C-alpha cells in the first residue's frame, strides 16, 4: 500500500515484467461478477457479442461502498504554494443524491500530510486498490466538474496497474491509462493520456494523448475506454478521440480504477480565483469484460 501511495504521489505531483493471463479467461481480481442487469443497457462489442458487466457502482446509497472503494490518504497533488492533502473525510468523499462527491476545499487550520509539509487544502480520491482490478475490457464513468474558467482545478478518471502483479518496470514504462483528465484552465476539454514507453518522446496527439476531446465543465460528460491486447480506444461522450495500437507491454496486466479531484500544476496552478469547495460528481462507474 505504501508503495502504491508513493508511486501515485510521484505521478500526480510530476504531471498532473510479469504478464497476467487474459481477463476473459478469469474473473476480475478481488471481485465477484455483478448481478444480472447491472451496468445499464445491454451493450454489444464490435464483433456482435455482448459485453459482460464485471463492476458497477451507481452510487445510489448514502455512504461509500468500502467493499468496492478505498479512499486514498496521506499524499498530495498540485504545486508548492497550493496543494491538497488527500483525506478520508465526509467533507471530501461522500455519497448522496445518486452520486459520489469528491471535494477540494480549504481547511481551517494547516494540516499535516504524511511526511510532507502542512497544507491549507484537502481533497478526495477513491480507488479500487486491492478490491477490484481487470485486464482489458470497457471502463466508463459519467462525471460532472465544477463550472469555472479560472485555473487551478484538476480532476481525473484513470486506471493504474495492480501492484499484486509483479513488474520490474517503473513509471511511466509500467503504464497508466488516464481516460479523462480535466483542467479548469481548459474548461471545454477532456484530455486523455496513455503513459508508457512513448512518454520518452513527450505528448504525441493521436498516439498517447489528444487535445480535441470536447467536454464542457459544469455539464455531465461520459468517459469510456475500450481496451484489448493490441488496441486502446478512448471516447468522450461516445465520440472516439484517441486510438492507440501499440500493444505495449505496459498495458498487458490488470489495472485498478481511480477517481481524483485536486488542484493543478504545470500552468494550471490554483491562484485563488477558482471557487472552493469545488465538487466533482460521479454518477456511475461501470466496467465490462
Q: What pLDDT, in 10s, does the model give residues 240-280?
A: 999 999 999 999 999 999 999 999 999 999 999 999 999 99
pLDDT score of 50 more than 60: yes
- State the average pLDDT over residues 2-14: 43
Prior bond of 282 cis (ω within 30°): no
Instruction: Supply the mean pLDDT for the chain.
Output: 89
What is 18-67 written as a DSSP string? PPPPPGGGSPPBT-PPPPTTTTSS--B-TTSPBP-EEEEE---SSS--TT
Confidence of residue 112 (pLDDT cuts 50, 70, 90): confident
Q: How far apart are CA 184 and CA 228, in angstroms?
A: 31
* Of 32-36, 48-52, 167-171, minimum mean pLDDT range: 32-36
- State the average pLDDT over residues 25-35: 42
Per-residue pLDDT tens for 191-217? 999 999 999 999 999 999 999 999 999
DSSP SS3 for 9: helix
Higher per-residue confidence, 13 vs 259: 259
> What is the domain extent for residue 188?
2-288
E-assigned strand segments in the chain: 53-57, 70-71, 84-86, 93-96, 99-113, 116-123, 125-127, 137-144, 153-161, 176-183, 189-195, 213-214, 221-228, 231-236, 239-244, 255-263, 278-288
Confidence of residue 15 (pLDDT cuts 50, 70, 90): very low
Q: How far apart are CA 131 and CA 191, in angstroms?
A: 27
Confidence of residue 11 (pLDDT cuts 50, 70, 90): very low
In this predicted structure, what is the pLDDT of residue 114?
A: 79
Tell me the percentage of the chain whose pLDDT exceeds 90: 81
Q: How many domains does the chain have?
A: 1
| CB 19, CB 157: distance < 8 Å | no
CATH of the domain at 197: 2.60.120.200
In this predicted structure, what is the pLDDT of residue 37?
A: 61
- Which H or E element spans position 7? helix 2-15
- State the average pLDDT over residues 88-116: 94
Amino acid at each position: 500500500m505504501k508503495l502504491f501511495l508513493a508511486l501515485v504521489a510521484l505521478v500526480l505531483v510530476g504531471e498532473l515484467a510479469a504478464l497476467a493471463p487474459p481477463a476473459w479467461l478469469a474473473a476480475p481480481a478481488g471481485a465477484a461478477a455483478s448481478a444480472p442487469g447491472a451496468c445499464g443497457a445491454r451493450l454489444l462489442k464490435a464483433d456482435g457479442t455482448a459485453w459482460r458487466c464485471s463492476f458497477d457502482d451507481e452510487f445510489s446509497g448514502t455512504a461509500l461502498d468500502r467493499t468496492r472503494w478505498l479512499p486514498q490518504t496521506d499524499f498530495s497533488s498540485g504545486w508548492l504554494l497550493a496543494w491538497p492533502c488527500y483525506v478520508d473525510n465526509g467533507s471530501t468523499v461522500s455519497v448522496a443524491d445518486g452520486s459520489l462527491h469528491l471535494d477540494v476545499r480549504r481547511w481551517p487550520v494547516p494540516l499535516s500530510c504524511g511526511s510532507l509539509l502542512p497544507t491549507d487544502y484537502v481533497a478526495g480520491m477513491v480507488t479500487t486498490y486491492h478490491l477490484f482490478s481487470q485486464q482489458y475490457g470497457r471502463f466508463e464513468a459519467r462525471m460532472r466538474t465544477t463550472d469555472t474558467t479560472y485555473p487551478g482545478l484538476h480532476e481525473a478518471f484513470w486506471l493504474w496497474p495492480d501492484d499484486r502483479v509483479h513488474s520490474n518496470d517503473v513509471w511511466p514504462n509500467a503504464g497508466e491509462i488516464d481516460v479523462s483528465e480535466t483542467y479548469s484552465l481548459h474548461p471545454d476539454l477532456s484530455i486523455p493520456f496513455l503513459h508508457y514507453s512513448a512518454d520518452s518522446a513527450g505528448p504525441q496527439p493521436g498516439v498517447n494523448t489528444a487535445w480535441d476531446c470536447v467536454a464542457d465543465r459544469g455539464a455531465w460528460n461520459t468517459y469510456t475506454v475500450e481496451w484489448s491486447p493490441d488496441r486502446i480506444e478512448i471516447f468522450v461522450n461516445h465520440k472516439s478521440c484517441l486510438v492507440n495500437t501499440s500493444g505495449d507491454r505496459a498495458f498487458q496486466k490488470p489495472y485498478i480504477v481511480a477517481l481524483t479531484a485536486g488542484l493543478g500544476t504545470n500552468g494550471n496552478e490554483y491562484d485563488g480565483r477558482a471557487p472552493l469547495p469545488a465538487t466533482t460528481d460521479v454518477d456511475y462507474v461501470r466496467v465490462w469484460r
